[in-house]
Structure formats: C-alpha cells, structure tokens
C-alpha cells in the first residue's frame, strides 16, 4: 500500500518551495526557461507545448525554444512527458528527483506524483520470466480525484433517486 505521504500534489507547498537550479545543470538562467518552469509549477494538470507557450508571461521565444527547453527539463527530471488519450504529448512538473509515477483524474485532468513505485519485485519476476533486462518503466494511473469522486457519488445518488431499483424510470 502506498502511504498518503507518498502522494505529492502538484500545487503543494513542496512544489512551490522547490525550484530546479538552471545554473547547476549547466544552463543559462533566461526569462524563457524560468517562464516555462513557472507555468509548469503553477499548473495542476499536464499541459501541451502550445498551452505552456500561451501561459508564459513573456512570449519572446517561439514554440521551438519551448520544445527544446522541455526536452532538456525532461532529461534533468524536472518535467515528464505524458502521452494523452488523444495522442497529444503534454508535460507535467516533477518535484521528485528520483523514480516516481503519476495519478491523473479522468474527469478534470488533475495530476499528482506518487513518490513510490512498489513494482521492484514484480519487475524482477518479469525479467526472470521474459529474459529481458528491464532498464526503465513508466506507469500512469487513472481514476477520480477526491473532488471529482465526491461529485460523481453525489451525482449518482441524485440519479438513483429518479430511477427504480433496476435503473428504470419511476
């Protein structure tokens, strides 16, 4: 079981206080890079490159610059690319500097980091069975966040009150 403390919501205090060091990564500190990181940090949902660019306070750079910087941020572990069900690549800010997974709400798109994996033993078994040496994995979990889950329960209770025991109209 994953402890609740392992879930890092993108807008938590840890997200606001932690900031990657562009200079420590050998990158110049530019308004464009800071803008991209700020947009990702301020969003609780994965964003497309175009959405990031539109939310940047100073759009002095073009989309190719945003793409290049996002690629670098992914390599540094500051962001992660997520392929949506619509086959559009989106990016989410990562607060963990080590291996982790994400939860995403199917209704509102809110995303949270899970600062735990728990798959190590299963992966070792899979290696033994398959003969593959697993070098990495990526797992995205989907469900309903607490807000959307509560709304879904409230909505279904209201819906049930208008139907009979087998779903027929009263």
**CATH 1.20.120.640 correct for 4-160:** no
pLDDT confidence of 10, banded at 50, 70, 90? very low
- Of the ranges 16-20, 87-91, 113-117, the best mean pLDDT one: 87-91
Question: 150: which 2 tokens?
Answer: 């509560």
93 vs 97: CA distance, rounded Å = 11
φ, ψ dihedrals at 96, nearest 5°: -75, 140
Question: Do 15 and 92 form a contact (C-beta atoms < 8 A)?
Answer: no
132-158 tens-digit pLDDT: 998 887 778 889 999 998 887 777 665
Which region holds residue 126: left if phi is over 0, alpha if psi is between -120 and 50, else beta?
alpha
Question: Do 114 and 7 form a contact (C-beta atoms < 8 A)?
Answer: yes
56-114 tens-digit pLDDT: 987 777 899 999 999 999 998 899 898 887 899 999 988 766 777 778 898 888 888 87
- Annotated domain spans of the chain: 4-160
93 vs 81: CA distance, rounded Å = 9
């Amino acid at each position: 079981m994953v402890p609740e403390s392992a879930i890092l919501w993108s807008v938590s205090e840890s997200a606001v206080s932690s900031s990657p060091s562009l200079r420590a990564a050998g990158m110049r500190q530019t308004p464009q890079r800071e803008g991209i990181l700020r947009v990702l940090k301020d969003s609780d949902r994965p964003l497309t490159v175009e959405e990031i660019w539109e939310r940047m306070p100073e759009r002095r750079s073009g989309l190719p610059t945003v793409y290049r910087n996002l690629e670098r941020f992914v390599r540094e572990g500051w962001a992660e690319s997520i392929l949506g069900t619509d086959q559009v690549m989106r990016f989410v800010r990562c607060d963990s500097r080590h291996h982790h997974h994400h939860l995403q709400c199917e209704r509102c798109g809110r995303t949270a980091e899970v600062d735990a994996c728990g798959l190590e033993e299963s992966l070792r078994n899979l290696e033994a069975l398959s003969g593959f040496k697993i070098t990495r994995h990526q797992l995205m979990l989907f469900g309903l966040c607490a807000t959307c889950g509560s709304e879904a329960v409230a909505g279904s209770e209201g819906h049930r009150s208008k139907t009979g025991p087998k779903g027929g109209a009263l």
